[in-house]
Amino acid sequence: MTGRRRLALLGAVLAAVLAVVWTVVVPDEAVGADGVRAVALRWGHPVSWAALSVLGLLVAADAPGWSRRLAGGVALTAYAGFVAALVL
């Protein structure tokens, strides 16, 4: 196994752990929020980490570029939604 694949797998495992952590840890701002803002605050962070974990697995598997871009786009979109809901 190449160093790049090992690093991608390590990143995938770490991102999966963080996805689980942020599924359990709910930001205080999510408690008082409602609607789309509540969903973004509650699930934006864990979804972004889960997508980063998938991205790491895709890199390790040498998956096609479109699938990597899709996973990265999901991670970026979820995190941007989380941050936007946090500051609004």
Q: Specify whether the CB–CB gap between 58 and 11 falls below 8 A.
A: no
Q: Which residues contact 86 (CB under 8 A, 6 or more apart)?
A: 27, 29, 41
| R_g (Cα) of the chain, nearest Å | 14
Distance CA(9)–CA(27), nearest Å, equals: 28
Q: Give the tokens for residue 65.
A: 């570029």
**Average of pLDDT values for 29-51?**
94
Residue 36's pLDDT is 95
pTM check: above 0.85:
yes
Report whether pLDDT(31) > 90: no
Domain ranges of the chain: 3-87
Residue 1's pLDDT is 79
Report whether pLDDT(32) > 90: no
Comparing CA positions, the residue from 87, 68, 5 lying closest to residue 79 is: 87
